[in-house]
Amino acid sequence: LLNLTVTVPVDGEVKTMNAEPHAEWDQESNCATWRFTELSELTENGPIGSLRARLEVAKGPSSIGTISVQFNCEGTTLSGVDLELQGPGYRVSLVKKRFVSGKYICDGSSNKNRNPESNENNEDNHENLSSSSSDC
């Protein structure tokens, strides 16, 4: 896959964000965005299993909106369809294959398995987000 973009919108005022792997925070659109030029099973560090971000929000709790993902791929089709031209007098010199995704979306969920009365994992209004996909 090429040009993979995963975006997670978050409501509320985010003060800081730590993400693994690295992501960008857009203050205007309130979105965390992961961008990968190329994603393959054969990447140097192994495949990416999840995208994680830890946000410090000014007032909490916060919630995530609809997660979206976009990508494309060169030199192949999803269906595996191919083109062959038969007959005299015609010749195909170049066939380009490419697919481009639409915008796939899913509803996100935050880590709500903690006791709100307890300070454990809840200091400074931190919210944990976990997803494998997103774009605002």
Q: Is residue 106 classed as helix, strand or coil in its secondary structure?
A: strand
The reply to whether the predicted model has a pTM over 0.75 is: no
Q: Closest by alpha carbon to 18, among 136, 113, 128, 133?
A: 128
Q: Which residue would you say has higher pLDDT here, 125 or 21?
A: 21
What are the b/e assignments for 100-131, b being 16+ CB within 10 Å? eeeeeeeebeeeeeeeeeeeeeeeeebbebeb
pLDDT tens track for 1-48: 889 999 999 988 899 999 999 999 999 999 999 999 987 766 566 556
pLDDT tens track for 55-110: 999 887 888 789 999 999 888 888 888 877 787 888 888 888 888 888 888 876 65
Q: How many residues does the chain have?
A: 136
Identity at 90, one-letter amino acid code: Y
- Between CA 98 and CA 8 the distance in angstroms is 26
Region of 37 please: left (phi>0), alpha (psi -120 to 50) or beta: alpha
